[in-house]
Structure 1
Amino acid sequence: MPILPMFPLGTALLPGDHLPLRVFEPRYQELVRDCVAAPDGPRFGVVLIARGHEVGGGDQRTDIGTVARILVDNDLGGGRHTLECIAEERIRILDWLPDDPYPRAEVEAWPDTDSAAVDLSELTVHLGRLYGLLDRLTEGRAAPPPDDLPTDPGARLFALARHIPMGEADRYAILSAPGPEERLALLIESISSAIDLAEWRLKND
């Protein structure tokens, strides 16, 4: 199985997300050097930290993650970097290896179990309602999802999820959904929660 350098973070990275990173820990400075020199390109895995912190190690990590590719590497000197990365395919962790010096894991690609089309009509209605409320809360500054979304059902739902206010646990649930049908149900649930919160804020502000 492929072995990837891993970067546990306090966020659930969805395919298609842009990821800016500031690298200052020595172990992750070495990860960047190894990624840049890797023959198959500057790639590493990202997983959500279930418990613990990004700095210092000793964290507990989730088992579903995403491959991130480094697009821009700004060397700040002294081993420090700022990175601009893009999230690519979803992966499942098969085995965590010893941190030597940075986290590494045996992984496998985990594509959607089903790529059949899903009915987005209910989701569209909920999104319209949510963004109507957000527009009122932000005095017209809320930006709805763009029209040029991916046509693949699973990728389209990941793209829509990036425009829905939600916590990291909800983002991880969406990342972990086996396929588009399950992801759609979770998105509708997250939008409903966001609608309830927006309505409460409008009544109490």
Structure 2
Amino acid sequence: MAASPMFPLGSVLFPSVPIPLRVFEPRYLRMVGRLLDEDEPGFEFGVVLIERGSEAGGGDQRASVGTMARLASVAAGADDLLIVGVGTRRFTVERWVDEDPYPRAELSMLPELEWSEALAPLRTEAEALVRRAIARVAGPHSDAGIELSDDPVEAVWQLAAIAPLGEYDRYTLLRSTTMGGLLRQLIDLVLDAEELWSAEGGV
């Protein structure tokens, strides 16, 4: 099993969602350089959530489920790179391997979540709740009106990405095994967050 280059982060990446990254550590600069040297287009690296500890210097505890990111753009700064990755497939980490010169792991890809039109009412409910929560947190001039993909699976992942939730809640969503389960969990987590905000007398 070939090892994939990995980028542990303090945030969760969902399929079909972009993630901008500032790359400045020498090992990750080398990783991006090697990706750009690949013969085939569509260079990918894995993104996993750091559950505990700091990624810098190692010693962190990493989540076992993550998302592949396709390198969509690279811009050079004075002493760093500004890259954008776009989430593609989810995976499970089977084994971390030698991290010289950068983190790498052997991965197993997870099956894509399947859409059914029977889930349309659940998606409508989830979208309404997420947009309401965004407006409540960020005000009327927020991303509450952001347009979603015409593809229903992509749109649900985008909803999960824009929902005002913490990273551990987002990781719970990433681990969903069915589209219905993802939507129900998203609804429950947003409702729980709204209850917490009300109890705290905040937004």
TM over 0.5: yes
Aligned-residue CA RMSD (Å): 2.5
- Whole-angstrom distance in 2 between the partners of 1:133 and 1:97: 41
Q: Does the 8 Å contact 2:129/2:190 carry over to 1? A: no
Contact 1:71 1:85 in 2 (8 A): yes
Aligned pair 1:51/2:29, yes or no?
no
Residue 138 of structure 1 and its aligned partner are, at CA, apart by 4.6
Alignment match, 1:173: 172
The aligned residue for residue 157 of structure 1 is: 156
- The aligned counterpart of 1:116 is 116
Q: What is the DSSP-based 3-state SS (H/G/I as helix, E as strand, rest coil) of the residue aligned with 2:124?
A: helix
Q: How big is the shift at 1:28?
A: 1.0
Which whole-Å CA distance do the structure 2 matches of 1:155 and 1:174 have between them?
14
Q: CA deviation at 1:38?
A: 1.6
Give TM-score scaled by structure 1 length. Answer: 0.84
Distance in 2 (alpha carbons) for counterparts of 1:169 and 1:82: 26
Query: Structure 1 counterpart of 2:68, which letter?
Result: V
CA distance in 1, matches of 2:52, 2:7: 14
Query: What is the distance in 1 between the residues matched to 2:130 and 2:148?
Result: 20
C-alpha distance in 2 between matches for 1:144 and 1:194: 16
Which residue of structure 1 aligns with residue 97 of structure 2? 97
Question: How do residues 3-22 of structure 1 correspond to structure 2 at under 5 angstroms?
Answer: 3-22=3-22
Query: CA separation of 1:196/1:61 partners in 2, compared to 1, >3 Å: closer, same or farther?
Result: same
Aligned residues: 202
Q: CA deviation at 1:116?
A: 3.4
1:24 equivalent in structure 2: 24
- The separation in 2 between residues aligned to 1:70 and 1:204, in whole angstroms, is 39
Q: 1:127–1:191: 8 Å Cα contact kept in structure 2?
A: no
Residue 147 (structure 1) shift: 4.8
What's the counterpart of residue 38 of structure 1?
Answer: 38
For structure 2, the residue ranges without an aligned partner over 5 or more in a row are none
Determine the C-alpha separation between the residues in 2 that align with 1:184 and 1:126.
7
| CA distance 1:134–1:13, shift in 2 (3 Å) | closer
Work out whether residues 130 and 194 of structure 1, in 8 Å CA contact, stay in contact via their aligned partners in 2: no
Distance change in 2, residues 1:199/1:121 (3 Å): farther
1:60 aligns with 2:72: no
Q: Is the 8 A contact 1:129 1:195 kept in 2?
A: no
Contact 2:148/2:158 (CA < 8 Å) preserved in 1? no
Q: Matched residues in 2 for 1:126 and 1:198: separation?
A: 18
- C-alpha separation in 1, matches of 2:67 and 2:95: 15
Q: CA deviation at 1:59?
A: 1.2
Does structure 1 conserve the Cα–Cα contact (< 8 Å) formed by 2:126 and 2:183?
Answer: no
Post-superposition offset of 1:44: 0.7
Kindly state the Cα deviation for residue 167 of structure 1 after the two structures are TM-superposed.
0.5
CA distance in 2, matches of 1:133, 1:109: 32
Name the counterpart of 1:187: 186
